[in-house]
Structure 1
């Protein structure tokens, strides 16, 4: 037995081992990006081309492009032809975020092999939802090749998105950290939103809900440029909120989301204000100069988040605490980011990220985040009970 073999098999690995009947004889499309690989580093498009010769007719890409080369939000990727397969590659983050009927004309079944990161604001699951809607409308089927939730399947955290703050960074009433695999949440959306697409999920083998990415034995391939490591994915459910502020969330550095800061930030005051309140992490003072994005080429005072105990770490709550303390300490330096943000030109980006204007206003009003967390526990438990109906994997 190979001691270095991954502990689990992804849906793509399963497809490689055994061709599913639902794909035989069908004209196939594939929604994928660089993270769509087997444990042996074979890309999904090549696997499907080998296992189903002549059947793959179109490729589709989510935000950041088919090669995940686009850095930030509202940076579109174009359509092109794949030279090796001589088939079209349709960008679903271009002049449209919604697939057109023309894009679906070449296919009978859309295969989806996308690495999600378990966080409400990550746009891949909404690209999938639009594909489900178009497939249902046109009578096409969808097959999802499942992949791990890199931040585990046990911890669920955050307020439920309010309907008035639905956007491309949150279409549905789910919490910030949803605790589902991409296959599970696709099935959840398909059912609860009454899309009723003909959907099949090809499950993983060996994955259990207590696993983080580091437990899988799989190699991490960044699903987008600013989630370069499993650690960046671990802090992302909280640190993403700093996208809605004038603080650098670490884009344009080697540690996106793991570190944050601004030229005006007083690190020592911040550490004193949160001392003893943030379990499972250490905040290490740093200075950095982003090469792009906010505060480009300017020295930012900030902190690097080191996770020491993932069981105690609550990324969303802790980032809300950090945000509020920065707002208190820097009333003249701190600002919320103005629109546009993900094609929303009127609503405040922070409200879209939090899924609630009221939560943002409560933070501004200096209401304790620990007390605010209590107010969403009932709705969070309701989501947890409903979402468990779509769990494929045990505890």
Structure 2
């Protein structure tokens, strides 16, 4: 969500309320997200956002495929339909003629139930159905308190739906907002759902959504030896595809077990291109709270494989980085991570971290190594920077750490990816739905 600073009393009050709300205790955060899957947000919409119609909103295109069927839904808190938009005028001298538009969103599960679609069960990815679990935290099966539907976690005991879980289903709907980064695990969940559907002859309906980092491709291509749930396929760190396009690639490149093919139907978007900017209405996971964090995530996400804190345990997740062992005589900025919503035990908990604040920089839709290189060069003890095995899994290669430690520049490192990216881009072009 993109918030702008306005010079008027009313909006300053709104921003103050939002800021204070961000500091309430964890349980209140979680209860707020669980309370209702319909969400009302007050924002000034980007013109590009208004033009884009996500797959979930194109109900006439897919309802006939669900009627009379026993349906499973793979979803989380981002799986919403825009159901109404109202304008509340603030046309007076103080408000300078600004209008705040209130947008109402309804969860796809609630919407389908209202339309008498027979939903039998829900499958949830990392962070859970309501999106409140920590990164990497195992999520247990449960029951949705609102609908009483059974919820089966795909980030706990099982990463892949079981045969027993699928045997009473005629079709599965997949509707999750991705952010276009290889180690963001929703595309791994997509892989396992496709594989289970293929093996059990269950068709998969994919409701496509924009990729906020979909305008470029960059980063090292994953080497097969380093495959994991944080990266299952030979793709760059920033892959430049929507969920629908990525599903086509998984099928087309025969990446599913034994080369099986999933019967997929993709409900594509209207008015979207890979150059479209898109402001997500709902945070896709607990530690990506706004557009700034989402645009910086491809670059700062690499810190997850280091001992550098990337803002977890603060209200500025993936908008800052620091550690106690970075040079405090060089950096003028510091902060202290504390347990909060989405991060029960952040790196360097209750320790002063010295580093860089990026919350107010003009974030660009691009990937850079300059932050990781900077942190390494400014470490007072360089042996503390990398958690080598974890960094390799995030990078998808052992070479990147070696290149940084050897002092190569960002330009030199990026040059080493050029041929791999050219091969990937040729493959990617076969599966694109949007320009």
Q: Give TM class, smaller chain.
A: 0.7 to 0.9
User: How far does residue 246 in structure 1 lie from its aligned partner after superposition?
Assistant: 1.2
User: How far does residue 371 in structure 1 lie from its aligned partner after superposition?
Assistant: 0.9
**1:234–1:309: structure 2 CA closer, same or farther, 3 Å change rule?**
closer
Q: Quote the residue 2:21 is aligned against.
A: none
Q: Which among 70, 84, 106 is matched to residue 133 of structure 2?
A: 70
Q: Quote the residue 2:121 is aligned against.
A: 58
Give yes or no for the alignment of 1:321 onto 2:384.
no
Q: Which among 289, 292, 301 is matched to residue 231 of structure 1?
A: 292
Is the 1:31–1:111 contact (alpha carbons within 8 Å) kept by the matching residues of 2? yes
Q: Which among 322, 347, 362 is matched to residue 308 of structure 1?
A: 362
Q: TM-score, normalised by structure 1?
A: 0.85
Give yes or no for the alignment of 1:49 onto 2:92.
no
Give yes or no for the alignment of 1:35 onto 2:99.
no
Q: Distance in 1 between matches of 2:313 and 2:50?
A: 32
Larger strand share, 1 or 2 = 2
SS in 1 for 2:82: coil
Q: Which among 408, 411, 433 is matched to residue 370 of structure 1?
A: 411
**1:332–1:54: structure 2 CA closer, same or farther, 3 Å change rule?**
closer
Q: Distance in 1 between matches of 2:143 and 2:326?
A: 47
Q: Distance in 2 between matches of 1:24 and 1:268?
A: 65
Q: Which among 380, 393, 397 is matched to residue 356 of structure 1?
A: 397
Q: 257-266 vs 161-170, which deviates more?
A: 257-266
- How many equivalent pairs are there? 357
Unaligned segments of structure 2, at least 5 residues: 1-43, 84-104, 340-345
Q: Distance in 2 between matches of 1:309 and 1:298?
A: 27
Give yes or no for the alignment of 1:384 onto 2:409.
no
Q: 366-375 vs 81-90, which deviates more?
A: 81-90
Q: Distance in 1 between matches of 2:382 and 2:63?
A: 60
SS in 2 for 1:42: strand
Give yes or no for the alignment of 1:209 onto 2:250.
no
Q: Distance in 2 between matches of 1:115 and 1:32?
A: 9
Is the 1:143–1:202 contact (alpha carbons within 8 Å) kept by the matching residues of 2? yes
SS in 1 for 2:228: coil
Q: CA RMSD in A?
A: 2.0
Q: Which among 242, 247, 264 is matched to residue 325 of structure 2?
A: 264
Give yes or no for the alignment of 1:286 onto 2:343.
no
SS in 2 for 1:158: strand
Q: TM-score, normalised by structure 2?
A: 0.78
Task: Tell me the alpha carbon deviations over residues 148-180 of structure 1, each in whole angstroms, 9 at most, x when there is no partner.
Answer: 1012x3211111000010001000000011111
User: How far does residue 319 in structure 1 lie from its aligned partner after superposition?
Assistant: 3.5
SS in 2 for 1:336: coil
SS in 1 for 2:384: coil
Is the 2:62–2:267 contact (alpha carbons within 8 Å) kept by the matching residues of 1? no
